[in-house]
Structure 1
Amino acid sequence: MCGRFDQNDIARRYVAAFGWADAAYRGQAEPTHNATPGTARLIFHMHGGAPAAEDIYWGYRPSWAVGKLPVAYQARLEKIHGNYWRRLLQTGRAVVPAHGWYEWTGEKGKRQAWHIHRKDRAPLFMLALASFAPARDHPAEGGFVLLTTDSQGGMVDVHDRSPLVLEAADAATWLDSDLSPEQAAELARALALGPDCFAWEQATLASARPAVKAAPGAGAAAEAAPAAPEPAPQLSLPL
Structure 2
Amino acid sequence: MCGRFEQSETPRYYADALGAHISERLKTLSDNTTVYNVAPGQRPWMIMLHGGEFVFAGMNWGYRTPDEAAAKRKPWINARVEKALTGRYFRHMFREGRVIIPAGGWYEWTLENGKKQPWYITRRTNQSIFMAGLSNYRLNEPDAQQQKVEVGFVIVTEDCEGGMVDIHDRRPVVLEPEDALRWLDPETPVEQAAHIAQTRSIPTEEFVWWKVDRAVNRVDPNNNGKHLLVPISESA
> How would you bin the TM-score normalised by the shorter chain?
0.7 to 0.9
- 2:134 is matched with which residue: 117, 129, 148? 129
Query: Once the two structures are aligned, what percentage of the paired residues are identical?
Result: 37
**What SS class does the counterpart of residue 155 from structure 1 fall into?**
coil
Query: What is the aligned length?
Result: 214
Distance 1:91 1:137, change over 3 A: closer
Cα contact 1:153–1:195 (8 A) shared by 2:
no
Distance 1:66 1:153, change over 3 A: closer
1:71 & 1:153 partners in 2: Cα distance?
A: 26
Report whether the alignment pairs 1:72 with 2:72: no
Q: Structure 1: any 5+ residue segments left out of the alignment?
A: 214-221, 225-239
Report whether the alignment pairs 1:202 with 2:202: no
Which residue of structure 2 aligns with residue 228 of structure 1?
none
Which residue of structure 2 aligns with residue 234 of structure 1?
none
Which residue of structure 2 aligns with residue 159 of structure 1?
168
Report whether the alignment pairs 1:46 with 2:49: yes
- What is the aligned-residue RMSD (CA, Å)? 2.2
Distance 1:108 1:37, change over 3 A: farther
Cα contact 1:114–1:158 (8 A) shared by 2:
no
Distance 1:16 1:223, change over 3 A: farther
1:192 & 1:183 partners in 2: Cα distance?
A: 14
**What SS class does the counterpart of residue 130 from structure 2 fall into?**
strand
Deviations 1:52-108 (A, max 9, x none): 111111011232443355411110001112222111001100000000000001158
Between structures 1 and 2, the one with greater helix share = 2
- 2:231 is matched with which residue: 212, 225, 234? 212
Which residue of structure 2 aligns with residue 111 of structure 1?
116
1:167 & 1:95 partners in 2: Cα distance?
A: 11
> TM-score, normalised to structure 2's length?
0.83
Q: How far does residue 153 in structure 1 lie from its aligned partner after superposition?
A: 6.4
1:187 & 1:27 partners in 2: Cα distance?
A: 30
Cα contact 2:6–2:36 (8 A) shared by 1:
yes
2:178 & 2:126 partners in 1: Cα distance?
A: 17
Which residue of structure 2 aligns with residue 235 of structure 1?
none
**What SS class does the counterpart of residue 173 from structure 1 fall into?**
helix
> TM-score, normalised to structure 1's length?
0.82
- 2:105 is matched with which residue: 100, 105, 110? 100
Q: Return 43-52 or 111-120, whichever deviates more.
A: 43-52
Cα contact 2:60–2:153 (8 A) shared by 1:
yes
